[in-house]
Chain A
Amino acid sequence: MCEKVLRPAIAYFTCVKETKTTCLDQRRENFVMKVCIIGAGVIGLSTAQSIYQHFHSRVSPLTIEVYADIFTPLTTSDGAAGLWQPYLYDKGNVKETQWNKETFNYLLSFLASPDSVKMGIFLQSGYNLCAEPMPEPSFKEAVLGFRQLSKRELEMFPGYSFGWFNTALMIEGKTYLPWLMNWLKQKGVTFFQRKIDSFKELSDSGADVIINCSGVRSGELQPDPELQPARGQIIKVDAPWLKHWVITHDSTSGVYDSPYIIPGSRLVTVGGVFQVGNWNRLNSSVDHKGIWEAACKLEPSLQHARIVEDWTGLRPARSKVRLEREVIRSGGHSFEIIHNYGHGGFGLTIHRGCAEEAARLFGQFLEQKGLLAAQAKSRL
């Protein structure tokens, strides 16, 4: 009956009205679209949101469930400073640049809304510092007021002779994730605190589509040699006079392996290290010392700041984000997986763009199965 959806446009709309009921009845009898998302960091939660937004009225009933062993405030997303900023260069991953920009514009649109504070979104300006002239970064068009630093400004940062200034967004995980969870709960999305040991486990329990947002531990579900932890340690400091983020770049040491200072709404995050292959979740006093000394050199006023705590997180680093569909066949069954992991140190930065793309892939799946009530192209 659902094939009727493929008729020419003129008859399309009326046709859909007729057949929609039929399809729905069939589905109600045989089929509930159940989407199970693994992971409740910013990627998992925002993907749930995008899927709900795009499909709750077009696929009925649509059940969305989120499975994770760790929820806010203990996820990797919660520990991140929350500065929207991609790596300087996308190395040809133009889609990622697009998703980053999409996320920026999406968050920016909420700034004037009554929800902005509850979402943990606000603007902050700052400095990207380099030891030598570098090509302009991938995000220069996305951010506000991007410009080069003047010589006078650079005098404030001995050791750095080049850099940029711009205004970007902050998106604090510790606030954003609870907001997302609340949003999802209100829409009927359910949460399960459970470690998922295999995709099959979920498929066996009725999942039609599994969205894999398991971040750094994705390898436990499906080996992926390209995915590695990139350990980061940060120091949270009380220094409320600091109003700019400062990120230094060292072409020899790599991204985030160079000091950075990112003021948040309450505390300032000081980092950083980027230790690929290091699974150690414990704070290291050696790293603490290195980070602190470098930061105090960069920002002398930190010397009188009160240190509150250290935190360690494992960035889910990958050569590029894995955002794609996969059909897994097991014992006569096949089930659909949409992977959305490997966002390294830019999960918050890219989350919405990726969530929308994941939703688009889900839509593709639905269309292929003929499960989608016709797209209201007649949305005149």
Chain B
Amino acid sequence: MMFLSLQHRDPMLKKRDDFEDMLEERRNSSDLRYALRCYTPVLYKGLAPCKASMLKSMVLQSDQLHHVIGQVSRETGRAADDVQEEASAILEEMAHCLQLSTVRFFAFTLSKVFKTLFRSICVNEEGIQRLQQAIQEHPVVLLPSHRSYMDFLLMSYILYTYDIALPVIAAGMDFMGMKFVGEMLRMSGAFFIRRSFGGDKLYWSVFSEYVKTMLKNGFAPVEFFLEGTRSRTSKSLTPKLGLLNIVMDPYLKGEVYDINVVPVSISYERILEEALYAREMLGVPKPKESTSGLFKARKVLSEDYGSIHVYFGQPVSVRSLAQGRVNRCQFNLVPRHIPRRPSEEIQSFVNDSAYRLVRAQEENMVLKPWVLLASLLLQNHHQDQTAGQKRGMVLEELTAQAVWLRDMFREYGAFLHWPDHVPPSEVVSSSLSLHRGLVRVCEGRVQLAVEQGFTVTPEEELLSQAVIVLSCASYRNQGLHVFLRPALLASAINAASSNLKQEVFNSFSFLRNMFSNEFILCPGATVQDFEEACYLLVKTGALQVTQQELLVTERGQRTVAFLTSMLDPFLQGYQVRETLYKMFSPCLVRLCFPGRLRYTEVLSSDLQKNSLAALLRLGAVQKIKA
């Protein structure tokens, strides 16, 4: 039934480009000259760039907007001019006003900042070349992963450096709150959208027309974050479909021949917002974006954040995605400028595409050795808690296990940056030293830096411990996509009552379904995922597949145990949720004390949110409005 089609999917065979460090040149030549240099990007079909004001008037004169203005005016009894005014105001609030001078300013300052913060910023130049090609062929959508505030400035910085058309970037309105900075961002190509505008027809219309006008005329690549917001956990978030729907629309309606979507994977060796995110997830509210806040964050400038890897993926043609999936004739019978809800066919197409694109991002995320170490240390930390052993792992043991895990990750096709010419012990120790805020080496044992006895209340102590654990967990999560499917299978094998293939599949399917809010698991792809997991485990010799059964091999025991315990924290999170769904996190904190909960991670609001969503979806919980 399986494996036949899988050979070509072997992740090991995936060829990836080499990286160049773009900071190297910055360290050797003048930043000022760099910021002032001649910038002449090639545009789509050799177009001349379009002024922001012209763009606005194109939007305001568009058929779609005219139609909606008429509609709103009829429905509300307001004068059409009045509604037109409003539309114009919305556009004013939204529109970017990209100015090269601002970009140059950023190019200069960011050069300075990046050089102090990071050891290197590595970019795959072949990807850049592909992007350049793609921009000339068809309108381009850039889809970077989103792990840090840094992301979009970094993107523009890179594109400026390589003389590529600067993107316009969809940003949340909250940035606008930052007075001066908001305007600066606007002038560097950001346009601002409200976080929610559910029923506001006019707003939606202005917004979608604005994006489409830029895109289909090829004025600039459109950039947005498929995940909608920064992932605080380093897990990819369930993709948001609104903007993707909008950017695919011109292709589906035949207004452009094709659209190239370019997934970009930005991986940080150390995330700037590391501790911030952990606190946020523990319920310490997110600080409001403000300029003064930004300045307070200056102290981050003095630390070492390692390197950044930015990988521009293979451009994905929307046309080829839609091939055989969407019948474009459905737009033949209604004028294309009249907004309509996308058909079910289109919704499911956009949804599947979104998952594919997020997976494309994940695939090219560079994983640092620290990801492996964090995974191992976390597992060890949890075991210590229950077993009451001496805390931490012996350094040599950690190194040995890391090497074992490294090989496994490679077999699973991970994009692992483990320097092979350096002895493993050095790799491990340099990795540990970069993350000294999270780990400590004490008497030859490596342990998580969970302080004890300094804080006043037990709650506070738990919270500060949780910050460390959640930070580590977020690094572990970076590698989640690599082992997720095998881990689901390993857990399924453990949970199933027999080795029968069908039984294991059922339990795999149950787990997969339960976790579909938690991880990137494309709806309807259960069989493919199962096959992929089987394939990987068989390939690494951990599993034997017969006609009827799945058997874990002798040497596979270790792998399966490891994989199972990788998923354990999540599993327990969902169990806790199931029993305590009515309580709030404070109760949960108290619950932790008697040692009833092994995993501090359960405290993560992200996990709680996802599990509640899953339980709602599965009908285990009902929402009752008070």
Say if A and B assemble together: no
Chain B residues near A (Cβ < 8 Å): none
